[in-house]
Amino acid sequence: MKIGEIIAGLALVNSLLPLPSALPAQQSPSAQPPARSAPISNIRYELTFDSTTARERTVRVSMSFDVGGNGPVLLSLPSWTPGAYEISNFARWVEDFSAAASDKAIRWDKLDYDTWRIQPGSARALTVRFDYLADTLDNAMAWARPDFVLFNGTNLLLYPEGTGFDFPATVTVKTQPDWVVATAMKPGTAPRSFTEGNYHDLVDMPFFVGRMDYDSMQVAGRWTRLATYPAGALRDSTRKQFWDQLGRVIPVESAVFQETPWTSYNVMMIFERSFGGASALEHQSSHVGIYNPGIIGNPLLASITAHEIFHAWNVKRLRPAEMFPYHYDQAQPTPWLWVSEGITDYYADLALVRSKIVDSSQFMALTAQKANTVTTAPPTALEDASLSTWIHPTDGSNYLYYPKGSLAGLLLDVLIRDGSNNSRSLDDVMRQLYQSTYKKGRGFGPNDWWPEVSRGAGGRSFSDFYNRYIDGREPFPFAQVLPLAGMRLAPDTIKVPRLGIQTAADSTGIVIVGLLPGGVAQEAGVRPGDRLLALGDVSLTNPDFGPEFRARYGNREGAPLPIRVRRGADTLTLTGKVKLATQVELRFEADPRASAKAIRIRNGIWRGRG
């Protein structure tokens, strides 16, 4: 997943958190012994979304299967979508559930809140049906428009409880004849039918159905497809530029693992004006991004795309043992999201600089932005931040494993290169772990990761590094490590306008959740619950509004600042006065006095090989 980018765009506010789910994480649904469904086979899902169901914002779901035995069939819906580490309970959006054998209604009830218990009696073939309300603009969920729907298999595809996930199934989509079906799922034999050999793969293939732009190109010897909604949102020169970036990023990322693991890859993008910022979610051979259209043409879009595609290796395949295999009915916390997300974000920056989408000074600016996010957040251990994401902490540490894990990746890369005289790098560690764990059918743990890092660095021990910076909360040793790669940190003292607000972002924009006493926003009369629309004439739907706001108001202490908010049905303009705060900002720069070895290491990082 990637939402950290919005944090960068919102550097003027104190923090940006997704709205916490109102529902608690699901514990074991009952204290009884584990439930087990009667065996079912020959599983076929039929999903209907056409101009009629679109008006109701629903997907009509029908699941047919054969039954073995007379015991109850137990069918469950997942509570989360892998990659989006929060409990969502997709059963919430189910309506009009029914079960039938031939056309005869079959008795059913619920075993728990996301498991249906169906009594087949002597019936040998059953069909269950329900409608799914697709009203949530979230890449882990389902969202319908009059001519389009996004859905994930985790939202719609029931699985038999307690009998494992190793079953094949087909999915058939019924829709308007002139609408497009975009998914990375394997094509089946019938038109608009698809198939996978097990449930893990089945629910890892999101769908777009409707009117959209959909084209394809060969990249790194494989088909890459680009589905964008609404039609016309990404076209002509901006579409060409994006294709060019895909053509550069994918080969650079494949080079790290020396393998392109998909037969085809789907980039799926929604551009929606009401969406504040940017958010994307990875899958094994696709990703779904939801963006404010203001991002088009901004390098941020290439960065998020590079991040999501790198996940095809790092987390979808090379994965922490705690999430291998995925379970769908409970949280799977792991202390390793700093690797799965943070190091993925380091590789997003590397992919951009190695493919020359950004230059080395932009790479250092991206890195400095992360360092500044970390230094202004409460001291938080990477392992603790990783574990805690499921509860979305409110102390300012939420999602800190993105920028801080990315910086840990840089430090480890430098130390490995320094210890091996630049003959090995973090690339080798990632590739070795991919081979020694994912390719052997298992997840990785500390006894895989740290020995591999140590081997890469010529045998150097990392136990001190782990204790202080991964399990511990000490500030990162930039002053010692960066010079080994011919880089250094320079602090800049700057004056920045401060609003004194805490915000959360959801699909409808930016919500004020807290106000600092005596801050500009509080003095202007902003209240918790207000939705922030604009600061002066700087619109907050632009994901890059932070720099624009700072440039406009950075040296205008005391100037009037109109703050436009939506409160209930009203739009209000409240007027505050600009307040500037002194802030020390870190800047990364190339060290002109770097040694020959340090320059080789620096170039190795930016260019990919030693």
Lookup: tokens for 292: 């404010």
Q: Which is nearer to Zn ion, 155 or 305 (CB)?
A: 305
Binding mask 208-247 for Zn ion (x = CB under 5 A): ----------------------------------------
Query: CA 398 from chain center: how many Å?
Result: 14
Angle at 499 between CA 496 and CA 503, to 5 degrees: 120
Compare residues 204 and 418 and give the one whose CB is closer to Zn ion: 204
Q: Which is nearer to Zn ion, 1 or 181 (CB)?
A: 1
CB closer to Zn ion, 253 vs 341: 341
What's the rounded Cα separation, in Å, for the pair 224 and 292?
A: 23
- In this structure, are residues 502 and 513 in contact, taking their beta carbons and an 8 Å threshold? yes
Rg of the chain over all Cα atoms, to the nearest angstrom = 25
**Cβ atoms of residues 10 and 542 within 8 Å:** no
Site string for Zn ion, 17-56 (x = CB under 5 A): ----------------------------------------
CB of 373 to Zn ion, least distance (A): 16
Smallest distance from Zn ion to CB 340, Å: 7
3-state SS, residue 554: coil
Q: How far is the CB of 124 from Zn ion (least distance, A)?
A: 44
Least spacing, CB of residue 314 vs Zn ion, in Å: 9
> From the CB of 307, what's the least distance to Zn ion, in Å?
6
For the CB of residue 309, give the shortest distance to Zn ion in the complex, in Å: 10
Distance of CA 325 to the CA centre of its chain: 19
The residue (of 341 and 383) whose beta carbon lies closer to Zn ion is 341
Q: Least distance to Zn ion from the beta carbon of 413, Å?
A: 19
Q: What is the size of the binding site for Zn ion (CB under 5 A)?
A: 3
Which residue type occupies 430?
A: M
Please name the amino acid found at residue 494. Answer: I
Name the residue nearer to Zn ion (CB basis): 84 or 270. Answer: 84
Closest distance of CB 2 from Zn ion, Å: 5
Of the two residues 2 and 498, which places its CB atom closer to Zn ion in the complex?
Answer: 2
Shortest distance, position 376 Cβ to Zn ion, whole Å: 22
Pick 341 or 428: Cβ nearer Zn ion = 341
CA pair distance 510, 210, nearest whole angstrom:
29
Residues ≥6 apart with Cβ < 8 Å to 240: none
Asked, as a colleague might, if the bond just before 206 is cis with ω within 30 of 0, I would say: no
Q: Which is nearer to Zn ion, 54 or 290 (CB)?
A: 290
- Phi then psi for residue 506, to 5 deg, are -140, -170
Q: CB-side exposure of 165: number of CA atoms within 13 Å?
A: 20
Q: Do residues 570 and 316 touch, judged by C-beta distance below 8 A?
A: no
Q: Least Å distance between CB 84 and Zn ion?
A: 10
Bridge partners of residue 143, in order along the sequence: 135, 150
For residue 47 the two structure tokens come to: 């999903």
Provide the minimum distance between the beta carbon of 289 and Zn ion in the complex, in angstroms, as a whole number: 11
Please write down the HEC assignment for all residues of 21-80.
Answer: CCCCCCCCCCCCCCCCCCCEEEEEEEEECCHHHHHCCEEEEEEEEEECCCCCEEEECCCC
Contact status: 1 vs Zn ion (CB under 5 A): yes
* Span near Zn ion by CB under 5 A; candidates 1-9, 17-25, 84-92, 384-392: 1-9
Nearest to 300 by CA among 585, 605, 8: 8
CB of 438 to Zn ion, least distance (A): 17
HSE of 408, CA atoms in CB hemisphere, 13 A: 31
| CA dihedral of 464, 466, 471, 476, whole degrees rounded to 10 | 80
In the 8-state DSSP scheme, what is residue 475? P
Query: What's the farthest any 2 CA atoms get from each other in the chain?
Result: 82
Which tokens sit at 235?
């076209």
- Map the footprint of Zn ion across residues 302-361, applying CB under 5 A: 341
Asked whether position 112 contacts Zn ion by CB under 5 A, the answer is no
Q: Given the complex with Zn ion, which of 210 and 543 has the nearer CB atom?
A: 543
Shortest CB 357 distance to Zn ion, Å: 18
Q: Which is nearer to Zn ion, 40 or 337 (CB)?
A: 337
Select the residue interacting with Zn ion from 2, 60, 319, 354 (CB under 5 A): 2
- For Zn ion, give the closer residue by CB, 8 or 181: 8
Residue 201 near Zn ion by CB under 5 A = no
Q: Cβ closer to Zn ion: 1 or 510? A: 1
Q: Which amino acid is at 2?
A: K
Tokens coding 541: 């739907």
- Binding residues for Zn ion, rule: CB under 5 A, are 1-2, 341
